[in-house]
C-alpha cells in the first residue's frame, strides 16, 4: 500500500507542478500567479498527497480481506 501511495503521490505532485496554472477553476492558486517549486515546497506537496492517498486506500485492504475470507469460507 505504501508503494501504491508513493506512486500516486509522485504523480499528483508532478501533475500539480505542470498544470497548476491551467486549472485556475479549481482555485488552487489565484489566476496569474505561479508558485516557486523549490525542493522543500515539492516535498511538502508530496507528503500531503501521500497522506491523502493513505487515507483513501485504507478502505481497500479491509474490503479485500473480507472478500478473501468469504471465498475461503465458501470453498
Under the banding of pLDDT at 50, 70 and 90, the label for residue 12 is: very high
What is the distance between the terminal CA atoms of the chain, rounded to a whole angstrom? 28
Write down the pLDDT at residue 32. 65
Better-scored residue on pLDDT, 71 or 31: 71
List Cα–Cα distances, 39 to 17, 42, 62, in angstroms: 12, 5, 35
**Residue ranges of the domains in the chain?**
2-74
pLDDT tens-digit series, residues 14-55: 998 888 767 666 666 666 666 788 899 899 999 999 999 999
Residue 74: pLDDT over 90: no
Amino acid at each position: 500500500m505504501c508503494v501504491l501511495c508513493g506512486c500516486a503521490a509522485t504523480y499528483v505532485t508532478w501533475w500539480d507542478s505542470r498544470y497548476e496554472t491551467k486549472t485556475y477553476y479549481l482555485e488552487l492558486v489565484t489566476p496569474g500567479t505561479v508558485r516557486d517549486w523549490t525542493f522543500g515546497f515539492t516535498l511538502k506537496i508530496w507528503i500531503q498527497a501521500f497522506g491523502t492517498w493513505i487515507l483513501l486506500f485504507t478502505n481497500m485492504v479491509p474490503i479485500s480481506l473480507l472478500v478473501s475470507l468469504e471465498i475461503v469460507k465458501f470453498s
